[in-house]
Amino acid sequence: MTSADGQRNGPGAVAITALAGAVLVFLIAPVAIIVMVSLSGADYLSFPPPHLSLRWYQRFLGTPSWRQAIWVSTQVAGLTMLFATALGLLTSLALVRGRFRAKGAIYALLLSPMIVPTIITAIALYFFFVRLKATGSIVAMALGHTVLALPVVIIIMAATLQGFDIRLEHAALSLGASRLTALRRITLPLVLPGLLSAALFAFLTSFDELLIPLFLSGVEVQTLTVRIWNSLVLEVDPTIAAVSSFLIGVTTVVLGASALLRGRGDTTTT
Amino acid sequence: MKETVEGREARRYLSALAPALVVLAALFVYPLLGIVHRSVYKGGYTLDLYRQIFRVPVYLQVLLATFKVSALVTLVCLVLGYPLAYVLATRRPRTAQLLMIIVVLPFFTSIIVRTYAWMVLLGRNGIVNQYLMMLGLTSTPMALLYNQAGVIIGMSYVLLPYMVLTVYSVMRGIDPGLVRAAHSLGASRLQAFRRVFLPLSLPGIAGGTLLVFILSLGFFITPALMGGPGDVMIAMLIEREVEITLNWSFASALAVVLLALTLLGFAGYNRLLRLDRVFEGRG
């Protein structure tokens, strides 16, 4: 125990900081390396790339099936965003403001799609939609993703609404505004940053997800993730590095936008 | 008078809950019940399929392998995640927030993208092997992919942010004054950590461990792409029964077993921590 001398920068503190730094490198390196590798002009995946080029991006965006996949993913994610945000807003209003029994149990039920392994949800929905002869449909995939995105929206919106001062709405009501007007003119503008951020995360949840479309998509209607899966099972094609970087880019945009929105939300609610 | 207004108010909000509950009932609860039904009904009610899972050695092996891989992944995540969470929680909030981006960016990147990244790194002619050979650490490429090592590296990478965020959310709630008080009473850094900070962070350790373990049990994408023929986990078996063997009833029974294990674990988790708190703490 002699090493524990109670000093600020003892060897233990240095070691733990170094370890944490190494873990941070471990977390970011694969993402960073894929982006760099995707810019390589070489025929194989080498790091660092011998020379830079956009050839894999040309291959990605120049292939009709990849472009088609981007479009399918965008449609599925867009619909998911609409469904999940609308449902999630109503639900979180009820959860934050309503007073009723079994609230805890209802909340747990609403969040449970986050916990149930997605493979189970995916096959359950597959069996369900096969019977309705609705596999291969974009709406079916979006409905499946709505189940997964709903908890995300609820968590973000519940936190946003908890930070909202309900007296502002009461003031509008006491000044003669109808309930709908108060909601539309006072509450919604103030919680809008949180709502937009929730919508973005709902979009991302769907855009990134593989398992639901893996079971529900048809031969012609494939999302980006399913298309990646199908090519990975065969071989490690460098085009996937460009596709992956594209997805990493989408994630970065969503995180950045939501950080900006959050910053703005903070200044209006406090 | 006031009571009834409030009563009406509460009911109004209750009806706002209805759409989501209907959607969830139709697209989540009902399909899951369908799976449960399919697993026990074949012309009549029977538990044969469950007997099969627990009697046939191959299936038992898959269950055991699933537990083993999940335990190892959880251990790796704890060993790597705890120190990082500790350093983040003891830095100034501004610094911690910036560093948190590095945890959160992979967390929100598609699992298939993260898995692909490790396939590129660990493959036979992958980047790790290129460097190992360049540095002369190995003369022939090491087998890092399509085996259990690959699965554990890939899954630990994907699940590490869950551990970090869970432990961090608990550590953030620990009053730094308590550690300072221990110091002022003569405790060394190590003693203050071991006797004060560590015990207070235990709910985080327990919660993170349980969360990563539960999520590991049901993992599909990473083991399916990074594992070898011998690294079948229960989720992969379920997929195979659906897509290849076309034995939907057996797939359902496997899914029910996995679901039961998951819910059991989650019930434990719920006693320790609230899931939404963890996700709110994310960047």
- Which residue in A has a C-alpha nearest to residue B260's C-alpha? A116
Q: What is the pLDDT of residues B173-206, one digit of tens each?
A: 999 899 889 989 988 888 888 899 999 999 999 9
Q: Which of A119, A211, A224, A247 to mutate to test the interface with B (most CBs of B within 10 A)?
A: A119
CB contact under 8 A, B80 and A106: no
Q: What is the pLDDT of residues A102-116, one digit of tens each?
A: 888 888 899 999 999
Q: Where are the domains of chain A?
A: 12-53, 63-269
Q: Which of B5, B27, B156 to mutate to test the interface with A (most CBs of A within 10 A)?
A: B27
- With beta carbons under 8 A apart, name residues in chain B contacting A123: 35, 238-239, 242, 251-252, 255
Of B237, B138, B123, nearest to A123 by C-alpha is B237
Numbers of helices and strands, H then E, in chain B: 15, 0
How far apart are alpha carbons B113 and A244 in whole angstroms? 5
Alpha-carbon distances of A59 from A65, A112, A221, B174, B197, rounded to whole Å: 11, 40, 20, 51, 53
Instruction: Give the fold, CATH level 3, of A63-269.
Output: MetI-like fold (1.10.3720)
CB contact under 8 A, B27 and A114: no
pLDDT band at A50 (very low <50, low <70, confident <90, very high): confident
Of A260, A229, A222, nearest to A244 by C-alpha is A229
Tell whether the model's pLDDT for residue A118 goes beyond 80: yes
**Amino acid in the structure at residue B226:** M
> Does residue B24 sit at the A interface (CB-CB below 8 Å)?
yes
Distance of CA B134 to the CA centre of its chain: 35
Query: What pLDDT, on a 0 to 100 scale, did the predictor assign at position A188?
Result: 87
Mean per-residue pLDDT, B151-176: 95
pLDDT band at A262 (very low <50, low <70, confident <90, very high): confident
Q: Say whether domain B60-280 belongs to CATH 3.40.220.10.
A: no
> Does residue B38 sit at the A interface (CB-CB below 8 Å)?
yes
Query: What pLDDT, on a 0 to 100 scale, did the predictor assign at position A62?
Result: 94
- With beta carbons under 8 A apart, name residues in chain A contacting B126: 45
Least confident of A262-266, B212-216, B219-223: A262-266
**Amino acid in the structure at residue A37:** V
Name the token pair of A214: 């893996």
Q: Looking at the complex, report in whole angstroms how far the Cα of residue B216 sits from the nearest Cα belonging to chain A.
A: 9
- Which residue in B has a C-alpha nearest to residue A49's C-alpha? B127
pLDDT band at A218 (very low <50, low <70, confident <90, very high): confident
The pTM assigned to this predicted structure is: 0.91
Long-range contacts of B94-97 (CB under 8 A, 24+ apart): B97/B283
Name the token pair of B67: 């537990």
- With beta carbons under 8 A apart, name residues in chain B contacting A249: none
Tell whether the model's pLDDT for residue B282 goes beyond 50: no
- Which residue in A has a C-alpha nearest to residue B124's C-alpha? A236
pLDDT band at B281 (very low <50, low <70, confident <90, very high): very low
| In contact, A79 and A138? CB cutoff 8 Å | yes
Query: What pLDDT, on a 0 to 100 scale, did the predictor assign at position A63?
Result: 92
> Does residue B62 sit at the A interface (CB-CB below 8 Å)?
no
Tell whether the model's pLDDT for residue A66 goes beyond 50: yes
CB contact under 8 A, A115 and B262: yes
Mean per-residue pLDDT, B231-245: 94
pLDDT band at B33 (very low <50, low <70, confident <90, very high): very high
> Does residue B41 sit at the A interface (CB-CB below 8 Å)?
no
Quote ipTM for the complex.
0.90
Query: What pLDDT, on a 0 to 100 scale, did the predictor assign at position B31?
Result: 97
Mean per-residue pLDDT, B32-45: 93
> Does residue B82 sit at the A interface (CB-CB below 8 Å)?
no
How many other C-beta atoms are found inside a 10 Å radius of the C-beta of residue A182? 20
- With beta carbons under 8 A apart, name residues in chain B contacting A94: 13-14, 16-17
3-state secondary structure of A209: coil
- With beta carbons under 8 A apart, name residues in chain A contacting B183: 6
CB contact under 8 A, A23 and B160: yes
Mean per-residue pLDDT, B252-274: 87
